Amino acid sequence: MKSMRVALTHDEEALSPIHEGICRSPDLEREIILGGQAVDGVETITSFVDGDADAYEPLIAGRESVLEYDITRTDDGFFLYLRQELGPEGLSLLNALAQETVVVVPPIEVRSDRTIRMTIVGHPAALSSVFEDLSEGVTLDVRWVSDDVTTEPSVSDRQRTALQAAWDVGFYEVPRRNGIEAVADELDCAVSTASELLRRGEATVIGRILDRGP
């Protein structure tokens, strides 16, 4: 089995109405689909949206394809439950992913840069054929491929311990409360060792955030 991280970039005319609204609004950053299913052309999802619910709700309220929705506001965004009939672009993606040996690993990111980003896991042959018949106006960018089927950052136990120690002593606070010497004291190791552990751990985690590697 292999994992593959992909970004599907949409031309403006290929965007779904909701995705287009996210791209156009300065108050919406991205929608993170946490889980869902599609049955007989009806999609049911739960997601978290980075942005203002007042900017998002007009994108779904009164829309004929939207069957039901519920919004729960938080301090930094809102949770959404949504049931809607899929349009042509949604059905195309759903059909592309309907491979017997392919699994889409949540979350799926619908971003304001006109991309949808997701991780899929499956047999290599199936992964390579998933996006052969993309809709017109949609292009595929493979961000990384890995033999590791997990989607968690693959930091070592020592790197994770170092990152936790740095967090605990305030190394990542702004302004920084303590420097690398405090991290080394917490780990009971040399400053150079602590620095190396942090650099490697940070590179792995940031690489995953930027879709630059498993």
pLDDT value at 105 more than 90: no
Find out whether 187 and 159 touch, Cβ atoms under 8 Å. Answer: no
89 or 194: which carries more pLDDT confidence?
194
Percent of the chain with pLDDT over 90: 49
Question: What pLDDT is recorded for position 152?
Answer: 56
pLDDT of 91 higher than 80 = no
pLDDT band at 111 (very low <50, low <70, confident <90, very high): very high
Query: With 60 as the cut, is the pLDDT of residue 82 above it?
Result: yes
| pLDDT computed for residue 88 by the predictor | 72
Question: 134, 92 in Cβ contact below 8 A?
Answer: yes
Give the side-chain half-sphere CA count within 13 A for 112.
Answer: 14
* pTM, 2 dp: 0.71
Q: Residue 152: which residues within 8 A CB-CB, separation 6 or more?
A: none
Q: Contact, 193 vs 125, CB < 8 A?
A: no
